[in-house]
Amino acid sequence: MTDIFRDETPLMSLDDDTLHEECGVFGILGHPDAATLTALGLHALQHRGQEAAGIVSYDGTKFCSERRMGLVGDHYTNPVTLAQLPGDRAIGHVRYSTTGDAALRNVQPLFAELEIGGIAIAHNGNFTNGLTMRRKLIADGAICQSNSDTEVVLHLIARSRSASSSDRFVDAIRQMEGGYAMLALTRTKLIAARDPIGIRPLVMGDLDGKPIFASESCALDIIGAKFVRDIENGEVVVCEIQSDGTISIEAFKPQAPKPERICLFEYVYFARPDSIVGGRNVYTARKNMGINLAKEAPLEADVVVPVPDGGTPAAIGFAQASGIPFELGIIRNHYVGRTFIEPTQSIRAFGVKLKHSANRAVIEGKRVVLVDDSIVRGTTSVKIVQMIRDAGAREVHIRVASPMIYHPDFYGIDTPDADKLLANQHATLASMCKYIGADSLEFLSIDGLYRAVSGAPRDPQAPLFTDHYFTGDYPTRLVDRDGISNVRQFSLLANNG
Amino acid sequence: MTDIFRDETPLMSLDDDTLHEECGVFGILGHPDAATLTALGLHALQHRGQEAAGIVSYDGTKFCSERRMGLVGDHYTNPVTLAQLPGDRAIGHVRYSTTGDAALRNVQPLFAELEIGGIAIAHNGNFTNGLTMRRKLIADGAICQSNSDTEVVLHLIARSRSASSSDRFVDAIRQMEGGYAMLALTRTKLIAARDPIGIRPLVMGDLDGKPIFASESCALDIIGAKFVRDIENGEVVVCEIQSDGTISIEAFKPQAPKPERICLFEYVYFARPDSIVGGRNVYTARKNMGINLAKEAPLEADVVVPVPDGGTPAAIGFAQASGIPFELGIIRNHYVGRTFIEPTQSIRAFGVKLKHSANRAVIEGKRVVLVDDSIVRGTTSVKIVQMIRDAGAREVHIRVASPMIYHPDFYGIDTPDADKLLANQHATLASMCKYIGADSLEFLSIDGLYRAVSGAPRDPQAPLFTDHYFTGDYPTRLVDRDGISNVRQFSLLANNG
Amino acid sequence: MTDIFRDETPLMSLDDDTLHEECGVFGILGHPDAATLTALGLHALQHRGQEAAGIVSYDGTKFCSERRMGLVGDHYTNPVTLAQLPGDRAIGHVRYSTTGDAALRNVQPLFAELEIGGIAIAHNGNFTNGLTMRRKLIADGAICQSNSDTEVVLHLIARSRSASSSDRFVDAIRQMEGGYAMLALTRTKLIAARDPIGIRPLVMGDLDGKPIFASESCALDIIGAKFVRDIENGEVVVCEIQSDGTISIEAFKPQAPKPERICLFEYVYFARPDSIVGGRNVYTARKNMGINLAKEAPLEADVVVPVPDGGTPAAIGFAQASGIPFELGIIRNHYVGRTFIEPTQSIRAFGVKLKHSANRAVIEGKRVVLVDDSIVRGTTSVKIVQMIRDAGAREVHIRVASPMIYHPDFYGIDTPDADKLLANQHATLASMCKYIGADSLEFLSIDGLYRAVSGAPRDPQAPLFTDHYFTGDYPTRLVDRDGISNVRQFSLLANNG
Amino acid sequence: MTDIFRDETPLMSLDDDTLHEECGVFGILGHPDAATLTALGLHALQHRGQEAAGIVSYDGTKFCSERRMGLVGDHYTNPVTLAQLPGDRAIGHVRYSTTGDAALRNVQPLFAELEIGGIAIAHNGNFTNGLTMRRKLIADGAICQSNSDTEVVLHLIARSRSASSSDRFVDAIRQMEGGYAMLALTRTKLIAARDPIGIRPLVMGDLDGKPIFASESCALDIIGAKFVRDIENGEVVVCEIQSDGTISIEAFKPQAPKPERICLFEYVYFARPDSIVGGRNVYTARKNMGINLAKEAPLEADVVVPVPDGGTPAAIGFAQASGIPFELGIIRNHYVGRTFIEPTQSIRAFGVKLKHSANRAVIEGKRVVLVDDSIVRGTTSVKIVQMIRDAGAREVHIRVASPMIYHPDFYGIDTPDADKLLANQHATLASMCKYIGADSLEFLSIDGLYRAVSGAPRDPQAPLFTDHYFTGDYPTRLVDRDGISNVRQFSLLANNG
């Protein structure tokens, strides 16, 4: 998968062949700069969602909410906006839509006023029984305002008969299935929860003795917070400000324990290279993928060229393992404006060139190895190969630092329909290679990938990771998909200005 | 009450001494230009609310909603916006906030997806048991997204066990008390309802055989629709598109009948002069108020000057009855920009002058009678009198075409706290006159007002109109006010970008 | 001319039949709140131009300029904007474009840096030799950045060999012909000038001993400044801050004296009713027009109805002189949004109804006299008459408080092409009346108009006013029009973002 | 110099330690998609200026101009904007302000209407006699509207007595000194010119037989145009559409020839790595700088870490020459929003971390070599070193791929005042090293740099490049600087909305 257009959301629609994850979350309790720190944490998590961002704070009297389309830095660095988020506790969210369209009413955190006081929730992941639960609630008189399946959790909390907000929260998540890393903010509590097998990541940090939760450790680094530990799969952590100002922290597992299976794509593509996910540095894992790839699919060539920026760590590994020089053969234009989203047709035709150009001087007459992190539909790969050939390459070989993708995701990754995936459109590797126009094409094996991340090959009896997109081995039930109605439409309301 | 700043919402905050009503509603069923006609109807009702406007349409497949802060003409004349409201049925709403702050989430129509299909509602008026019902619903697990008490109706509809949407609607309004003119749009029905004593107005019209409902008849005139009749107090009218395209209309009264008591302030100030409210022309009623005022409080003077624009009809009546010439002694600046809302202090100090100026040539050396429609707090009257004196008036007399206001409203009029009302701040008329700085001050009597509108004095046993602001005679129970908790705060969520 | 859409610029394009004047000017020297006072003065002059507004101030070190499209109140009440206009001297301008399109580069005041220091100028009026001079300058190597003919004056000042800025200013205006009221601001001077026959108005005021100049006296009233006197025709007044902080004021007439002939349309339509123009109150003049009209064209009728707002003073006069009751038979909607400028065709079709509605109760079955201030093309009159007939009038008579318009203006009034004028499209009054659809149509005579304003009929040998639109008697040469090239295009540059 | 914040203009103000160049230019003659191709070319040149962009086209009848603050992709991909730029000839400009503030009136291309027809010019570089000439022109009656010294050229063209536009253009540039690559567009001609010693680059290309000029070859690559040749130093090329549609191309050198001395900083930092400047690939030159640096300043270390993105090519060269592994030790956040420009102080404090983070896994316990392209003030270097130390580096060594900077530029590079330069603030390398906090600090020698670019050391008698920032050897007279008045202020007009 090339992440050619990864850093500027709108271009997705222009020339995109990547997978998208829906969200990143951040929360902090007891710090006087809660909203500012949340904004910084979300900025560090921006790679997990560039479509919209929201923050909810509580100042001891009222909950305050700011939700905006666009980047964190576009809104949440404004003193006026931050001033509207007073208080020493806040949670925030960056999103990329999977379920629910992009309308502002779907931007998280979502808030509800309950009998016991307000509650805000922020969610990374996807429920595999979200639609089913939503239909039940509506039949029972609930009113849904957003398209987001996160709202279902809010309704379940509202309808719980438990006394405390944290008990109600646990009641609610017990009824949900799928992958989630979720934060909740009540008047006195900051609650964190991770799904039973831990598909989506969630870490705990500490800043001046105040608890922090974030999707990735890079959000701790930006504010100088200490990494404490990963939230475990199936774990709920409840932090509460006591009447004397101290903060209590209670952790428990309300559901029967299962083995952890974190999503492999966090290592392949989603997480930031400097993050520690599941105790493993992402950059090192990616470089190992390139090293293993060089061993599995060696070749003679003159230069190793990364497809920027996703392929760079693997390309460095590939170059070191193969001894072939690493060169910047593709130059990236950092200035792609947001509004390229709806260019004229005449400009759209320039596609990949708007963001990349071949560096002819290091390509002309050379045997080039392009190293990419993954390939989804292959559409961008076709254009990249053509661009490299136009620049005079003698041979173009593609090495992909992950296996072929065959199956859709239901846990928060926005995958194209299965029949659009390159691996499903071609019967053989040779056919794929021909379609892309390369001289050779090789993918890293699933065992090679497992080894790069964990040091050991995949154990089919007890795989360490969620890997169904490669293997078809879904780690949970798929209630909505396998139910009687596989309706995709979430709401009858088309737009909502 | 001077309506000096009536036509530009933001100025309200600058130098305002008026009452505000919250809403106007409009709906049409079966017409191919439903959204455009709704926009025009709302434009004609703009005087009933300038803060925000919304339209919901249904095109046979989906409900479409556009809700915006600002004037109808600012948004709903845009082809792009109207194109997002397809379908042959629509309801719309202009609002001035009474309960619920100005945030977009409170802008009506409100929409909910029910098990039986979507429903949108638009409401003019206020419930006297809205808070009480809201608390009950939240205790029962409902989630409130808006601050609007209209949302309560939506929850009651969602929770009704009746089969049809119109039965559910009736179930809901039966539980609500207060003043309301309400419209609902479902997939096939347009429903109109007026509260049991008919406090807020609602008329039915007809355009090319298609039913229309609107708060005032002027909304029918602008689109060339015929006036059919007033919706009666306590009446519900259900219009439904049948499978053959014809429209059935059914009217009924689900609650025990009571005598009608329409709000007197519709005649004094709110309704547009060219509207027919309760069968009576508003302009004629206001002119009659001036005629009666001239009889009740005659004086010798040189010129009759209206306080524009609210006082003009009464001033014409006063001039004709008194024989004193009518002159434009106050000139209005029509170009007050919207953004005067937050002027610098140096500009704010110019207050009333930003919108009005004395026309010295017709005032200098004259005995001036200023005719105004009503006085609320008197703050603007003080400035107007000073301005007239500065222009060289020999004497300044004020004649107010309605009685003194003593009591707050709970049916959709935004009144200041009782102790802010001029009538409650001064023990005597002489004290009020001195405060305002006039040479004399007289108010129309309640009987004079009744006679101007209906031809007969007030019957204390069976008053024809809702008139508690003058008399203290509230026409319904005040459940929220008299309940155990008189909490005003509707939501813990302070803002919601 | 009906001013139906006068108060909201954009509607001009919708359904407009008015004349437009290009500008209003305001300047003040030596007052610490110079920019704020200028903003207020421009606000009071907003009726002279709603398209754009600009202010230039000087703070002792640098000139500061803010120029914006839109109303004064939209921008210049913002503390941030005003803070960017420091200093104790400023001039400002509101404009309606005659020559020069609406682009920001044409918004005044215009500024130039000269060898002797910066100078800003603001101009109301139009030069009859502007194009001719512009061509000469360009041939001589001048670069024109705006389309405005005011820029020509700036070039002439820049090229003058006189030592002082005021001498250079005089050198420049001596070369220009036409109608102008002009202000200039240099580092130490505020200069005012009026054309040799005084077509456009300009008054001098005083606030706390500081000199003020403004197009109309209403701009003095709003800030509580004293009216000092009219600037005389052909006069230049130079105010200068001396080194000791005192202000010197010098007045002189650099050109041979001619009799004053102020533009009659200032009285008929442009000036605000409360202004004193040439020593005469505008409201009183307009009421007199109605009185004279009632004498010249009497009739039997039931109600006198003003076409709001321009026709109201004349209608009051007409009613008083004729004894026919004055009634508000046309109700105006004050809430026409700015963005009605580009409505959908379906909304555009509602034309005049968007802003006015007939008040049926005072019209139905009546013989109605509509009083308007003037008629230009007659297009709106047709719609107004139809609206009144639709409301059930038995007869509709039109009385126009000024003569027929036959000739275009070249002094700052934006007139349609001559062949579009109603008076030129019909050979007889009867034909006009039939076109408009009225039962009778009468215009005030030129002598009746002169009498209403000055008390005496027109002296053809020495007319007191500029009146060519009625009479064809142009008061100056028309150099551009009668020159060898009557090119209208001012610039080859089409747009300039 | 770290280019940490290079790709998002606003951040410059946050934590910036780079040099900025003012402009890039692009022009095309005779192609039906002239404006679209110009937009694409400017997009490829965006690294040369991100503050504003403008395009002027000519469609056979009129010149059309669009000038906007912001990125090319923000505006010029909009079909509406492009539709306002019709015609088959256009020139465009991206700018970073050196002289002239950021106001829109300074955005190029600048346009003037001359007697012989309109002309637009776009300029990259800076005149060393711009102020002197400007003062002369103003003394002679010229009016300057912009602060840009490019406007001086426009005035000289306007005042030239030559008959043809190209002769006038040559008259004008003959009077100017300094560094420039300039394009001009008249009704029939596209003119390109480069200063006598060729400080700023300018290339000629060909698309379907139509001539193109651009600052760098990467602007040809994006549209698939052929590279034809560099415009030579001192050369003027005039392309003209003939009456039969063919295009004539005439090249000449109007001034006495001098040896070419292209700006070295184009190789060090400004030009895009894939561009060919003066016949040399920029990436290769930079990689050579790293190779030479490894030879000049060898050390023992564990990892070579580039300071992204400017240091990456040199780091690759350094790693290959030294045998020390190349690793991504600094991770860049691509999502820095534009509005970080005015962050709250609390966010500003996070400075460099908003855009970069240390990748602890490859740094902890390691001896790190940071390779950067240049150091200006050193302020960012201090923060980067601290960040690397905080991530656990055992040693931090800095290797800079260019010499120390001592002298300001006057040819289009925006340098800080001389006393702010790191090299001038410290007497010794050891002192600099200590200030930055590194364990060692080494700069590439001037000979090492010359060798990296040209293969040979610097010849002090005839240096191949402009290199005064390193050596003090200015290649031209500095008229403004050495003149009687060294005034920096260009205009008395502070702002111009």
CA dihedral D239, D242, D246, D252 (to 10 degrees): -30
Residue A491: per-residue pLDDT: 43
Q: Whole-number mean pLDDT of chain D? A: 88
Mean pLDDT computed over D461-468? 97
Chains with at least 3 CB pairs less than 8 angstroms from chain D: A, C
Q: Which residues contact B213 (CB under 8 A, 6 or more apart)?
A: B25, B26, B27, B28, B183, B190, B192, B202, B203, B204, B205, B231, B237
Q: Whole-number mean pLDDT of chain A? A: 88
For B218, name the nearest residue in chain C, comparing CA atoms only: C357
pLDDT along chain C (497 residues), means of 10: 29 51 90 94 92 93 88 82 92 77 73 85 94 91 82 94 94 96 97 97 97 97 95 98 95 93 96 96 98 98 95 97 97 67 59 84 97 94 95 97 95 87 96 97 98 97 97 93 54 45
Residue C351 burial (CB count, 10 A): 18
Gap between the Cα atoms of A481 and D113, Å rounded:
68
Hey, is the C-beta of C64 within 8 angstroms of any chain B C-beta?
Answer: no
User: What is the pLDDT confidence band of residue A421, given thresholds at 50, 70 and 90?
Assistant: very high
Gap between the Cα atoms of A132 and A493, Å rounded:
19
| H/E segment holding residue A182 | strand A178-185
For D76, name the nearest residue in chain C, comparing CA atoms only: C497
| Residues of chain D found within 8 Å of residue C65, distances taken between Cβ atoms | 493-497
* Residue ranges of D 13-32 with Cβ closer than 8 A to chain C: none
Gap between the Cα atoms of B368 and B348, Å rounded:
27
Cα C229 from chain centroid? 20
For B120, name the nearest residue in chain A, comparing CA atoms only: A493
Gap between the Cα atoms of C262 and B443, Å rounded:
46
C395-400/C367-372 β-pairing: parallel
Q: Retrieve residue C469's tokens.
A: 């639109």
Is residue D50 predicted with pLDDT exceeding 90?
no
pLDDT along chain B (497 residues), means of 10: 29 50 90 94 92 93 88 82 92 77 73 85 94 91 82 94 94 96 97 97 97 97 95 98 95 93 96 96 98 98 95 97 97 67 59 84 97 94 95 97 95 87 96 97 98 97 97 93 54 45
Hey, is the C-beta of A283 within 8 angstroms of any chain D C-beta?
Answer: yes
Cβ–Cβ of C71/B335 closer than 8 Å? yes
Cβ–Cβ of C361/B328 closer than 8 Å? no
Q: C335 near B71, Cβ under 8 Å?
A: yes
Mean pLDDT computed over A274-302? 97
Residue B60 burial (CB count, 10 A): 11
Q: Name the β-bridge partners of A483.
A: none
Q: How far is B149 from chain A (nearest CA, A)?
A: 14
- Catalytic-residue membership of A23: yes
User: What is the pLDDT confidence band of residue D412, given thresholds at 50, 70 and 90?
Assistant: confident
User: What is the pLDDT confidence band of residue D345, given thresholds at 50, 70 and 90?
Assistant: low
The DSSP-derived string for C386-441 is HHHHHTT-SEEEEEESS----S---SSEEPPPGGGSHHHH-SSHHHHHHHHT-SEE
Q: How far is D137 from chain C (nearest CA, A)?
A: 9
Q: What share of chain A is helix, strand, coil (3-state, %, to 5)?
A: 30, 25, 40
Gap between the Cα atoms of D7 and D50, Å rounded:
8
* Residue ranges of B 389-428 with Cβ closer than 8 A to chain C: none
Determine phi and psi for C243, rounding to 5 degrees.
-65, -25
Q: Name the β-bridge partners of B412.
A: none
Gap between the Cα atoms of C310 and C308, Å rounded:
5
The more confidently predicted of residues D69 and A126 is: A126
Q: Which residues contact A201 (CB under 8 A, 6 or more apart)?
A: A181, A215, A216, A230, A262, A263, A266, A271, A277, A278
Residue D11: per-residue pLDDT: 33
| A–D interface: beta-carbon pairs under 8 A | 195
Assign D409 to helix, strand or coil: coil
CA distances (Å), origin A362, targets A352, A393, B427, D283, D495:
19, 9, 94, 8, 47
| H/E segment holding residue D369 | strand D367-372
For C109, name the nearest residue in chain D, comparing CA atoms only: D496
| B–C interface: beta-carbon pairs under 8 A | 194
Of A67, A491, A495, the CB nearest to B84: A495
Hey, is the C-beta of B347 within 8 angstroms of any chain C C-beta?
Answer: yes
Of A221, A334, A336, the CB nearest to D357: A221
Of B118, B142, B497, the CB nearest to A66: B497
Of D274, D276, D331, the CB nearest to A273: D331
- C409 phi-psi bin (left φ>0, alpha ψ -120 to 50, beta other): beta
| H/E segment holding residue B471 | helix B468-471
Hey, is the C-beta of D214 within 8 angstroms of any chain A C-beta?
Answer: no
Cβ–Cβ of A65/B139 closer than 8 Å? no
Question: In 3D, which of B286, B457, B271 has the Cα closest to residue B371?
Answer: B286
Per annotation, catalytic residue among A23, A64, A239, A433: A23
Tell me which of A449-463, C20-34, C192-206, D10-24 is least confident. Answer: D10-24
Q: Which residues contact D216 (CB under 8 A, 6 or more apart)?
A: D24, D44, D45, D48, D201, D203, D271, D272, D275, D277
**Do A and B touch, counting CB pairs below 8 Å (3 needed)?**
yes
Question: In 3D, which of C181, C176, C179, C173 has the Cα closest to residue C204?
Answer: C181
Determine phi and psi for D375, rounding to 5 degrees.
-130, 130
- Tens digits of per-residue pLDDT, B35-49? 999 999 999 999 998
Hey, is the C-beta of D326 within 8 angstroms of any chain A C-beta?
Answer: yes
Hey, is the C-beta of C497 within 8 angstroms of any chain D C-beta?
Answer: yes
Of B313, B336, B342, the CB nearest to C328: B313
- Tens digits of per-residue pLDDT, A86-127? 999 999 999 876 555 556 667 899 998 887 788 999 999 999
Residue C256: per-residue pLDDT: 87
- C100 phi-psi bin (left φ>0, alpha ψ -120 to 50, beta other): left
End-to-end CA distance of chain A: 35
Residue B286 burial (CB count, 10 A): 29
Gap between the Cα atoms of C469 and C406, Å rounded:
6
Radius of gyration of the CA atoms of chain B, in A = 23
| Site from C267, C359, C383 to mutate, B interface, most B CB atoms within 10 angstroms | C359
Where do the DSSP E strands lie in A59-100? 63-69, 89-95
For Cα atoms A55, A57, A58, give the angle at the middle one, nearest 5 degrees. 165
- Tens digits of per-residue pLDDT, D166-177? 999 999 999 999
Q: How far is A82 from chain B (nearest CA, A)?
A: 12
| Residue D209 DSSP symbol | T
Cβ–Cβ of C497/D158 closer than 8 Å? no
The more confidently predicted of residues D16 and A58 is: A58
| Residues of chain B found within 8 Å of residue A491, distances taken between Cβ atoms | 113
Hey, is the C-beta of A351 within 8 angstroms of any chain D C-beta?
Answer: no
User: What is the pLDDT confidence band of residue D493, given thresholds at 50, 70 and 90?
Assistant: low
Q: A404-409 contacts: CB < 8 A, separation 24 or more?
A: A404/A375, A404/A443, A404/A470, A405/A374, A405/A375, A405/A376, A405/A469, A405/A470, A406/A469, A406/A470, A406/A472, A407/A468, A407/A469, A407/A470, A407/A471, A407/A472, A407/A474, A408/A469, A409/A19, A409/A265, A409/A468, A409/A469
Q: How far is B23 from chain C (nearest CA, A)?
A: 15
Chains with at least 3 CB pairs less than 8 angstroms from chain C: B, D
Residue A485: per-residue pLDDT: 43
Domains defined along chain D, listed by start: 15-261 (3.60.20.10), 283-336+346-471 (3.40.50.2020)
Q: How far is A160 from chain B (nearest CA, A)?
A: 7
Hey, is the C-beta of B154 within 8 angstroms of any chain A C-beta?
Answer: yes
Hey, is the C-beta of A114 within 8 angstroms of any chain B C-beta?
Answer: yes
The DSSP-derived string for B306-346 is E-TTTTHHHHHHHHHHH-PPB---EEE-TT--GGGGS--HH
Please identify every residue of D annotated as catalytic. 23
Question: In the structure, how many helices (H) and strands (E) does chain C have?
Answer: 18, 26
Of D67, D154, D494, the CB nearest to C64: D494
Residue D105: per-residue pLDDT: 67
Residue C142 burial (CB count, 10 A): 26
| Residues of chain C found within 8 Å of residue B338, distances taken between Cβ atoms | 73-74
Residue B477 burial (CB count, 10 A): 12
Burial class (CB in 10 A: 0-12, 13-18, 19+), A455: exposed
Of A64, A154, A494, the CB nearest to B143: A154
Residue C349 burial (CB count, 10 A): 11
Is residue D486 predicted with pLDDT exceeding 50?
no
Tell me which of A295-299, A388-392, C103-107, C392-396 is least confident. Answer: C103-107
Please identify every residue of B annotated as catalytic. 23
